[in-house]
Amino acid sequence: MNSGANGNFRPNAHPIAILVAMCYFYAYNMDPKEYLFYYRDKDKKEIDLLYVKPDGIYPIEIKKSIAPGKKSAKNFRVLEKYKAPLHPGIVIDSCRDIMPLNETAYFYPLYRLGE
């Protein structure tokens, strides 16, 4: 658990978001090891999760901050070198609503995972 700025406690977003994603896959009889991947290249550019389907790649970043910046999806473009289509990604955070981040990504509220 992490302490917020005002001393209240909130769960760490990384483990919760990953756990929810894995539960979602198991609920639909899909093995997350076949669809979810971590990405890190030789230049140390990282993406927390890649949801890979036959129709393309969906990048996912998971942030703990209340208001992550516009650079939250900065590494999504490194995936353009692969032949699979690159779909809009999401940045999971503590926002209240789904909001566009840029032309290739959206902010997505943690509480809406699994809907």
pTM of the model: 0.76
Domain count, the chain: 1
Q: Supply the CATH number for residue 28's domain.
A: 3.40.1350
More confident residue, 81 or 12: 81
Per the CB < 8 A criterion, the answer to whether 74 and 58 are in contact is: no
Task: Give the pLDDT score at 86.
Answer: 94
Higher-pLDDT residue of 53, 113:
53
10 within 8 A of 2, measured Cβ to Cβ: yes
What is the sign, positive or negative, of the torsion defined by CA atoms of 29, 55, 61, 108?
negative
Range of the domain at 23: 2-112
pLDDT value of residue 17: 67
Average pLDDT estimate for 35-55? 89
58-111 tens-digit pLDDT: 999 988 766 677 788 989 999 998 889 999 999 988 888 899 999 889 998 888
